[in-house]
Structures are given as C-alpha cells and as structure tokens.
Copies of this chain bind each other. A is one copy, B any other.
Amino acid sequence: MGQRNTIQRTIVLETLMRMKSHPTIEELYAEIYKDHPAISKTTVYRNLRVLEENGAVRRLSLPDGPDRYEGQPKPHYHFKCSTCGSVFDIDMPTIGDIDASVESKYGFEVKDHDLVFHGKCSDCKLL
C-alpha cells in the first residue's frame, strides 16, 4: 500500500503543470487557493516533497529566496537576476554526458544537475 492519489496531490501537480513556470510555494499556493481554498499550505509543502521524490516535479534552490518548483518535464537551465530577483528559464541544449562523466570519475550515482547563471537581467543592467 504505497502512495495514494489524493485530490490534494492531484491538484498540486496539475496546478503546477498548468503554470508552466517555476513558482515559489507561496505563488503556487495562491494559485491553488483560488479554486481550492480548503487545501492547506502544509499539504502543498508535503505533496511537493513527495512529487519531487517521485521525479514528477523538480525543485530549485536559488540564493536569496525560497525554493521553487517546476512541473515541466523537459530539463533546462536558469538565470537569476541578483538585483531584482527574477528567475528566467534558459533555453539551451542541456549537457547530458557530464552526469555520466561525474559518475565514472567519482563513483557517485548522478541523477541530474542544475545549472544556474547569475548576473543582471536586461532591465536591471541599465540601472
């Protein structure tokens, strides 16, 4: 009797996938709350954890802010503006073979990698 498909879990996943971005839990919860105000924020936290372990969603840990989640299956990279804090998706071919190269060199079991660029976005670099 493993995991269960609760309506809360379904809503969390579907809302995240519908958003097609990388919301913070606060942002995701606000979106969920519109249609399902009875779902508690704690439940959103817990379900995202479970979904992450399942590999259904990905979590991003970026400096100076709460974690973010994304339901987009296609792996991609990110840019965070150190001035305004905005996060952008970077559409660029992902480097697939470096995972394997770290595996063989270090003897680790590599699941994936995150690549985050830092700097100033086009708006902030003008200031």
Binding site for B on A (CB under 8 A): 59, 61-64, 67, 79, 81-82, 88, 90, 92, 95, 98-99, 101-103, 105-122, 125
Given known A-B contacts A67-B63, A79-B108, A101-B92, A117 and B113 have beta carbons under 8 A apart? yes
User: How far is the CB of A40 from the nearest CB of chain B, in Å?
Assistant: 22
Query: Does A115 contact B117, Cβ atoms closer than 8 Å?
Result: no
Given known A-B contacts A115-B115, A118-B111, A106 and B82 have beta carbons under 8 A apart? no
Q: Which residues of B contact A90 (CB under 8 A)?
A: 102, 106
Q: Which residues of B contact A79 (CB under 8 A)?
A: 102, 106, 108, 110
Q: Write the chain B residue with the least CB distance to A113.
A: B117
User: How far is the CB of A64 from the nearest CB of chain B, in Å?
Assistant: 8
User: How far is the CB of A101 from the nearest CB of chain B, in Å?
Assistant: 7
Q: What CA separation (Å) do A106 and B82 show in the bound complex?
A: 16
Interface-central residue, A59, A63, A105, by most chain B CB under 10 Å: A63
Q: Which residues of B contact A63 (CB under 8 A)?
A: 59, 61, 67
Q: What CA separation (Å) do A99 and B63 show in the bound complex?
A: 18
Interface-central residue, A63, A90, A118, A121, by most chain B CB under 10 Å: A118
Given known A-B contacts A59-B63, A67-B63, A118-B112, A102 and B92 have beta carbons under 8 A apart? yes
